[in-house]
Amino acid sequence: MKNIIIFGAPGSGKGTYSEEIKNRYGMGHISTGDVLRAEIKNGTELGKIAQGYIDNGQLIPDQLMIDILALQYDSHPTGKGVIFDGFPRTIAQAEALKRMLAERGHDLGMMIELIVGEDVLMERLLRRAQIEGRADDNEETIRKRFAVYHSQTEPLSKWFAAEGIRHTFDWGVCKTKEGMLEAIFQEIEKENGGVES
C-alpha cells in the first residue's frame, strides 16, 4: 500500500478517517497530535514544551516536529504503508518528510485532502470539546488554530498538487461520513491498482 498523508483543517475528520483507513487496510497510523498529547499526559520534557504551543493554538517548531516524526516512523511497521495524520503542517515539514522517506527508499504516496466549510468545522470542534474535553477545543483557541491553518498549512495543498499526489474530498459534495468514506476507499484502491480489503 502507498503511504497516505491525510490533510485538512482542524475538525475536518483527519483522525476519524485515518482510523477507518487503518482498520480497512491494516496500515500503520501516526497522529502527531496524539503523540504530543501522550507526552503531555506523561509529563515528559517534550510534553512540557508542546503544551505551551498547543494551548495557544500554535504549531510546534518544525525541527522538533520533524525529529519526532522520524522517530515515530522508524518505530512503526511500514510494510503495509503508513497514514500520516496531522503531519506535515508546513512546507518545511513536507520537504523534510519527502527527504526522510527517500532516505529509506520510500515515497510520499498519496495525499488525501478533506474540504469542510468553517461553520461545520466550528460546530464539530465545539461538540468534540463537550465529549472529549480537549483543552484546545475552546472557541478562542479554535479561531487561532484556523488562522494558523490558513497561513501556514493551507498553502501546502498546492505543494502536494505540484507533487501530483493530491486527492480532494469535499464534505459539501459527499454530505455524509459514509459518502466520504466510500469515495476515499475507491480512490485508495484505484491508486493501489485495486486492493482486497
Q: Does 100 bind ligand AMP (CB under 6 A)?
A: no
- Three-state DSSP at 1 gives coil
Q: Which of 6, 54, 110, 116 binds ligand AMP (CB under 6 A)?
A: 54
Assess whether the previous peptide bond of 88 is cis (omega < 30° from 0): yes
CB of 103 to ligand AMP, least distance (A): 19
Q: Which of 59, 91, 174, 195 binds ligand AMP (CB under 6 A)?
A: 59
Q: CA separation (Å) from 194 to 14, 117, 151? A: 23, 31, 37
Segment near ligand AMP (CB under 6 A), from 38-46, 82-90, 105-113, 114-122? 82-90
How many residues can be counted in the chain? 197
DSSP string, 18-53: HHHHHHHHT-EEEEHHHHHHHHHHTT-HHHHHHHHH
Residue pair 113/26 in contact by the 8 Å Cβ criterion: no
Nearer to ligand AMP, 145 or 166 (CB): 145
User: Strand pairing of 82-85 and 28-31?
Assistant: parallel
- Residue 128 annotated in active site: yes
Rounded Cα distance between 19 and 85, Å, is 10
Q: Does 33 bind ligand AMP (CB under 6 A)?
A: yes
Nearer to ligand AMP, 3 or 32 (CB): 32
Which of 2, 24, 98, 134 is catalytic? The answer is 134
Q: Tell me how crowded residue 41 is: count the other CB atoms within 10 A of its CB.
A: 9
Q: Does 87 bind ligand AMP (CB under 6 A)?
A: yes
Q: Which of 86, 109, 156, 188 binds ligand AMP (CB under 6 A)?
A: 86
Catalytically annotated residues: 14, 89, 128, 134, 145
Residues that bind ligand AMP (CB under 6 A): 10, 32-33, 36, 53-54, 58-60, 65, 86-87, 89, 93, 136, 145
